Structures are given as C-alpha cells and as structure tokens.
Structure 1
Amino acid sequence: MKSLLSLLFGLLLVLGSASAQELAPDAMVRQVTEDVLTVVRQDKDIQSGNTRKAIDLVESKVLPYFNFQRMTALAVGVDWKKATPEQKKRLSEEFKTLLVRTYSNALTSYKNQTVVYKPSKVAAGDAEAVVKTEIVQPGNRPVQLDYSLEKLGDSWKVYDVIVAGVSLVTNYRDTFKQEVSNNGIDGLITMLSNRNKQLESGRK
C-alpha cells in the first residue's frame, strides 16, 4: 500500500505551471496531472531511475503547493499538541523531506498509468474541497484517488491524499504515536531524520 501511495501521490502532484494556483481545485488537479505525466513520459532519466533528477523536479514544482505543517499535524495526531514550536518546525521539515524523497523515488516507477477525472462540486466561497480521480493501471484494477485541499489566500493547497479509502497522512499515525510513546517528540524527530538519511544514502 505504501508503495502505491508513493507512486500515485508523486505522479499526480507535480505542478507544471504557476497559473495552476489560480484555478478551481478540480481544474488544478487535472492540469497538474497532465503536466506531470507529460514530463515523466518524456524524461528518460527519470524513467531509468534517476532519483536525484526526480527530487529536483519535486522540489522545484511541488513544495509551494502543499501545507506540510497541516499534513504533519494530521500524521502526528494528538501528540502534535505536546510539541514545542521548534519541535513542530523540525517535525514538519523532516516529514516534508521524507515525503519528497519517497515520492521522488516513486516517480521513477511510472508505468503508463492514466487518469480518469470524476465530477467535483466546489461552490464559490468554499474553503475546502475534495477532488476525486481514478487511476487506471494496465493489467490491474482501477484505484480510487481523492485529494483533500484547502484554500489559503488565493491558492489551493493539498493537505491529504486518500488512496482506495486510506489517508496518506493518517497512514503514518500509528507508527508516529508508538515512537512518541516510547521516546517522546524528540525521538520521533530522530526517527524521521534517520529514515531520511537512509533514503539519502540509498539514492541513485
């Protein structure tokens, strides 16, 4: 499941145009999906496993369009309230790095997936929205993929992705809760930092 989450999340959320932030959330998802699929289909280095290039792509195109603090707070759950401002900053930074590296690696696993966009109802003035899509994979059953977005200022930002009914951020919650129970907030920061170092050392 985590592999599938990584692949789909990475594939579908690379922004190819700053104008996407001015679009309605469903139109934005459609535009960014087509942008990223075009890039990945044409980039032989990414397809051949160049994770560094995939990371550069994600860092330059994705980061401004996510609310990583909210994502981290959702993943940490009730223990988020125990963290100091500095610990919250560290947690958000490490979780962001983990997601970027995990999903950048997943970009190199693209295998001709296509996307079906489902009708969305977003009214003027709505501050949150869910955009639903379906991923069609050759030789496999389609997978439901939903995006949870919130409006911050003039732009929409993603704070969760739900794959086949499973929330990306809350998928980490049990692991994070156990680590905090055993070693405190600093222990969770250390765990995330060590995981990121492992991904960095194994990067191609």
Structure 2
Amino acid sequence: MKKWFMAVCISLFTLAGVHNAQAELIRDDNPYVLLEKLASKTLERIETDRELIDQDINHIRVVIREEMMPYVDYVYAAKRVLGRNLTQTTEEQRQEFYTVFRDYLITTYAGAFTQYDETKHTIQFGDASRFEPNSKIVVVNTRLLQEGGPPVRMDFKMRFDKDDNLWKAYDLVVEGVSLLNSKQAEINAVIRSNGIDGTIALLREKAQETVKEHDDIEGSE
C-alpha cells in the first residue's frame, strides 16, 4: 500500500509547476498540455529546494502548498469524500472540514514525498489531441516511469473550475485504484466512529504532525 501511495503522491507532486505564491498560475485550455507544462517546471523547483528539504523535511509542506495545491480541487474532492454525510453537516462544519482536509492532504503528500528521487522518476503523458475542447471533466492518462521498476499507469481525473478559470485534478486512479475512493472509505469510517466534529479534530491533528511516511488515518477506533 505504501509503495502504491508513494507512486500516487510522486505523480501528484510532479504536477506542481514552478511559481511562488505571488506568481501567475500556469494555464492552458488543454489539460494534457497543462499537466505536461507543470511537470517539466516542477523538476526545477525540486532541484532548487533539494538542500532545504534535506536540512528540514518539513520544508516539503511549503513546496506542496505553494506548487501543487493551486492545481488540486480539494473542495470538490472533500465533498466527494463526505458523500451522504455532506447533507448532515452545518455550513460551518463543511468549511472547517474543507480547510483541515486540504491541510491533511498536504501533510499526507509530504510524507510520501520523503521517498521521492527526481533522478529516478519521470512522467510520460498521453496524446494531448485526445482532448475534446468542450469537455468540462476529463481523464488524463499518464505513466510513471521509475528506474528499476515497471511503469505505473495513472489516470488523472480533472474538472474545469470556472471560478478560477483553471483545470484542476480531483482524483488519481493508479492501476485501477482510486485515491479519492480510498480516502472516502477511510474518512467515512472515522465519521461513523467519531462524528464529523471528531473527524475534523483528528484530521487537524494529523495535518499538524511532523512530516513522516504514512498513508492512513490513525486513531479512528
């Protein structure tokens, strides 16, 4: 499971793009082209910050927050994760859940990224001509190529955010396994045990932990 999740987060991180908090977002009408642009620029940021990451592993959070999260539709993903529980929450609970879910994703991705080696991983993108211009939701097919291992099939589910005028990823299916569905199962189990407020508190606690390799919500029993 951890190897699978590492592949997920490596690929998600490779969508980052090189820009700081003040820089303009990278945009393209074709999500295939957008992802490829972001991937090629991400390597520059990784190489630039490698020394900082080696000195303080928690710096990975900064990189992910600044580079990856603008292209992740975490609110849409959070709503999908909540599923039927969404209608049983107040507006205040929903907004709080969206925030802690975002922070939890940052820490989770950061934990997987501790194993990332930019000299051994590359992304192979699908044919950009497959994109139909009027589409609002697409699946972008890619492959993670890794030294000493077989290619990993990854299908990015993306939707066009009309408010931000930007294509964003909301799920990643790796070798047929959906990251979103996996997180939905985990978090729904926590909600059944702890309620929505208890789940928010647990996610907040996990989001504030020192970065480490992990892929599960602990303490749900």
- Select the residue among 87, 90, 107 that pairs with 2:113: 107
Query: Could you say which residue in structure 1 is the equivalent of 2:208?
Result: 197
Question: How do 1:7-22 and structure 2 match up within 5 A?
Answer: 7-10=10-13, 12-16=14-18, 18=24, 20-22=26-28
TM-superposed CA distance for 1:124, in Å, is 1.8
Query: Could you say which residue in structure 2 is the equivalent of 1:119?
Result: 127
Residue 5 (str. 1) matches residue 8 (str. 2) = yes
Provide the TM-score with structure 1 as the length reference: 0.87
Q: 1:176 to 1:105 in 2, by over 3 A?
A: closer
TM-superposed CA distance for 1:106, in Å, is 3.1
Unpaired runs of at least 5, structure 2: 214-221
Residue 169 (str. 1) matches residue 199 (str. 2) = no
- Select the residue among 87, 91, 100 that pairs with 2:97: 91
Identity %: 21
* Cα distance in structure 1, aligned partners of 2:56 and 2:209: 17
Aligned amino acid, residue 8 of structure 1: S
Query: Could you say which residue in structure 1 is the equivalent of 2:153?
Result: 144
* Cα distance in structure 2, aligned partners of 1:93 and 1:46: 26
* Cα distance in structure 1, aligned partners of 2:53 and 2:145: 19
* Cα distance in structure 2, aligned partners of 1:192 and 1:77: 17
Unpaired runs of at least 5, structure 1: none
Q: Which digits, 9 at most, give the CA deviation of each residue in 1:90-113, with x for residues without a partner?
A: 111111101112223433422220
Question: How do 1:42-57 and structure 2 match up within 5 A?
Answer: 42-45=48-51, 48=54, 50-57=56-63
* Cα distance in structure 1, aligned partners of 2:42 and 2:80: 26
* Cα distance in structure 2, aligned partners of 1:118 and 1:165: 17
Aligned amino acid, residue 118 of structure 1: G
* Cα distance in structure 2, aligned partners of 1:89 and 1:19: 24
TM-superposed CA distance for 1:4, in Å, is 3.0
Provide the TM-score with structure 2 as the length reference: 0.81
- Select the residue among 129, 143, 153 that pairs with 2:138: 129
TM-superposed CA distance for 1:142, in Å, is 0.8
Residues 17 and 42 of structure 2 are in contact (CA less than 8 Å); yes or no, is this contact kept in structure 1? yes
- Decide which structure has greater helix share: 1
Aligned amino acid, residue 134 of structure 2: G
